Amino acid sequence: MTTTKTAIEKERVVVRFAGDSGDGMQLTGDRFTNATAILGNDLATLPDFPAEIRAPAGTVAGVSAFQIHFASRDIVTPGDAPNVLVAMNPAALKAHLRDLEKGGALIVNEDAFFDRNIEKAGYASDPLTDGSLDGYQLFRVPMTSITVRATEGLDVSKKEAERAKNMFALGLVSWMYSRPTEVTLKWIEQKFAKQQAIRDANVAAFKAGFNFGETTELFAHTYEVKPAPASPGVYRNITGSTALAWGLVAASVRSGVPIFYASYPITPASDLLHELSRHKNFGVRTLQAEDEIAAAGAALGASFGGHLGVTGTSGPGLDLKQEMIGLAVILELPMVIVDVQRAGPSTGMPTKTEAADLFAALYGRHGESPLPVVASYTPANCFDAAMEAARIAVKYRTPVILLSDTFLTNSSEPWKLPEIDALPVIEPKFATQPNHDDGFMPYLRDDNLARPWAVPGTPGLIHRIGGLEKEDVTGNISYDPQNHQRMTDLRAAKIAKIAGDIPELEVEDPDGDAEILVLGWGSSFGANKAGVRRAREAGKKVAFAHLTHLNPLPRNIEEVVRRYPKLLIPEMNSGQLAFILRAKFLVDAKSYPKIQGQPLHASEVMDEILRSVDR
């Protein structure tokens, strides 16, 4: 008999799927996200990968998770505490129960809770029966055995059938939150079009999960989250890595300069190479180099040859690239260096997020070698940040470091496709003829203090390159003390001049009388903005601002940070931006650091705002 279910409307929901790294949690979360995007909810996601490549199955070290926050209004974070936790085994429960809100829904695959698994997860007793979960809404579902029964009669082994249990979980949660099923079923059909038995098993498992929710007496309600208001346009769900890659491609199209991307595989930056390698139709050329130094050298060589050289890496790779970046500084050639930051130092926690490479980006090279630094702040904003980094690199003939991080590159959100004609035109202005009565002068600068970009082989534009100091204007090798001072000053002045070509720092201060300014950079954006919103709802007067350009800083930054009695800077490091602002402007910048491999939470920022205001 089919039970009658009541539908409860929710404004927002946070769901987390967690299981063994072989349970397909990332795929499950991605498919749930896709259906949610098509339904029109605003959303933000947080994939969480295990750092161990082959952690023993069933152990906490091997747990993989995917969190999605979806709502009928604008949201800016993947959520703090999940309302719903789907735990596919005891290890997943052990790793993620601490984050589930009190009284939250806990859906477990009870088939996985046998003695050996319970022991491997580090439990002394069965958590499903010892009373430790009494504070939650516990739903025990035999996902594995129902999946196996649903696939009886299909040409799949028992092991292959069991692997489809993630589709059962997806079907069940899709039913709970009224997600459309057609998009998932269509994807399964396409994904396994050449593996009919596997296709049929996954379809059967998904439908079994959906039907289980509809017919069981375990669940009394379904939940509805209505579409979020959005401006007219075409939207798609996009990850930070895809958005960044597309931003580089767009910069190539709008400048007419082909992209050459060289990198060495490194977590979490490798997705950028994978995505860019798909776009040869836009003239993109990619190279998987033998090491980080070679990748940086190849990118710089491409820039010398008239391409926009780009190289991408994470923190350890940025360390290795710094000497070649210094060569790009002295050669004054356009180049983009993408640093997808991760938890360090050394190997650190390669699948966990951190934003602690700001000092390395600003000061990591030897000698006086300033360069622009741009930071993306949401997955969709990675597109704009990539275009901006390329624009600055080409216009000012300089390497630019573009900072992203693990959270941004793996997470996703809805992105409104821009109008192509509205994207900025980037004019490379290649040198085509000698620029002086005495021939070609490679360091004769324009109004931006940028030197000519002369492509090798252009008649009459032969010039010397290399790492030795250049003589002003001529580019000849020079050891003259005064010339070295002048060239050092000119390179610094060129970077400082960019401040006049970037937007002023915008401050969100509704009444103009805030007691405290919350200032951030990078992926702290969402948590800071949401934390400020909550503090305002609590009656506090709080201003909010966020930096995209970290070198040079916006020209009005000093006036902004001096305007407010208190300045709070939440960031995922030990306080690097706070240190810089204290040093530059002698302001009492209070740091709120978090270095746990996880993004900042809005609740953490709100709590710190309240503490700071009440001091």
Beta-strand (E) ranges in 417-561?
A: 507-508, 516-521, 542-547, 549-551
Q: Buried b / exposed e across 88-121, counting CB within 10 Å, b at 16+?
A: bbbbbbbbbbebbbeebbbbbbbbbbeeebbebb
| CATH code of residue 48 | 3.40.920.10
One domain, residues 403 and 285: yes
CA separation (Å) from 239 to 43, 378, 411?
12, 9, 5
When pLDDT is cut at 50, 70 and 90, the band that residue 3 belongs to is low
Specify if 229 maps to a domain. Answer: no
| CATH code of residue 605 | 3.40.50.920
Structural domains in the chain (count)? 4
CA separation (Å) from 184 to 14, 19, 46, 181, 191?
20, 20, 20, 5, 10
One domain, residues 338 and 363: yes
How far is residue 599's CA from residue 84's CA, in Å, rounded to a whole number? 19
How far is residue 195's CA from residue 34's CA, in Å, rounded to a whole number? 23
User: Hey, how many other C-beta atoms are within 10 angstroms of the C-beta on 172?
Assistant: 26
This model's pTM is above 0.85: yes
- pLDDT for position 86: 98
How far is residue 254's CA from residue 282's CA, in Å, rounded to a whole number? 11
Specify if 311 maps to a domain. Answer: yes
Q: Are 272 and 336 in contact (CB under 8 A)?
A: no
When pLDDT is cut at 50, 70 and 90, the band that residue 508 belongs to is very high
End-of-domain residue from the set 483, 501, 519: 501
End-of-domain residue from the set 416, 437, 455: 416
Read off the pLDDT of residues 189-205 as tens digits, 9 standing for 90 and up.
Answer: 999 999 999 999 999 99
One domain, residues 198 and 276: no
Specify if 424 maps to a domain. Answer: no
Average pLDDT of the chain, as a whole number: 96
- pLDDT for position 6: 87
Read off the pLDDT of residues 263-311 as tens digits, 9 standing for 90 and up.
Answer: 999 999 999 999 999 999 999 999 999 999 999 999 999 999 999 999 9
One domain, residues 180 and 296: no
One domain, residues 553 and 497: no
Specify if 262 maps to a domain. Answer: yes
Specify if 366 maps to a domain. Answer: yes
Read off the pLDDT of residues 84-98 as tens digits, 9 standing for 90 and up.
Answer: 999 999 999 999 999
How far is residue 415's CA from residue 387's CA, in Å, rounded to a whole number? 16
One domain, residues 270 and 357: yes
Does the structure show a pLDDT above 90 at 2?
Answer: no
One domain, residues 435 and 533: no
The token pair at 21 is 């790294």
What CA dihedral angle connects 421, 426, 432 and 438, to 10 degrees?
Answer: 150
How far is residue 96 CA from its own chain's centroid?
A: 22
Specify if 1 maps to a domain. Answer: no
Q: Are 424 and 385 in contact (CB under 8 A)?
A: no
CA separation (Å) from 377 to 163, 342, 385?
36, 15, 8
Structural domain containing residue 273: 236-416
Q: Are 27 and 202 in contact (CB under 8 A)?
A: no
Three-state secondary structure call for residue 325: helix
Read off the pLDDT of residues 34-79 as tens digits, 9 standing for 90 and up.
Answer: 999 999 999 999 999 998 877 888 999 999 999 999 999 999 999 9
One domain, residues 36 and 102: yes
One domain, residues 318 and 461: no
One domain, residues 242 and 219: no
Rounded percentage of the chain residues whose pLDDT exceeds 70: 99
Read off the pLDDT of residues 428-469 as tens digits, 9 standing for 90 and up.
Answer: 999 999 999 999 999 999 999 999 999 999 999 999 899 999
Amino acid at 582: R
Specify if 422 maps to a domain. Answer: no
End-of-domain residue from the set 183, 202, 224: 224
One domain, residues 489 and 513: no
Does the structure show a pLDDT above 60 at 1?
Answer: no
Quickly count helices (H) and strands (E) in the chain: 20, 22
Specify if 359 maps to a domain. Answer: yes
One domain, residues 535 and 610: yes
When pLDDT is cut at 50, 70 and 90, the band that residue 389 belongs to is very high
How far is residue 491's CA from residue 481's CA, in Å, rounded to a whole number? 16
Question: Mean of the pLDDT values across residues 211-226?
Answer: 94
Write the burial class of residue 158 (CB in 10 Å: 0-12 exposed, 13-18 middle, 19+ buried): exposed
- pLDDT for position 301: 98
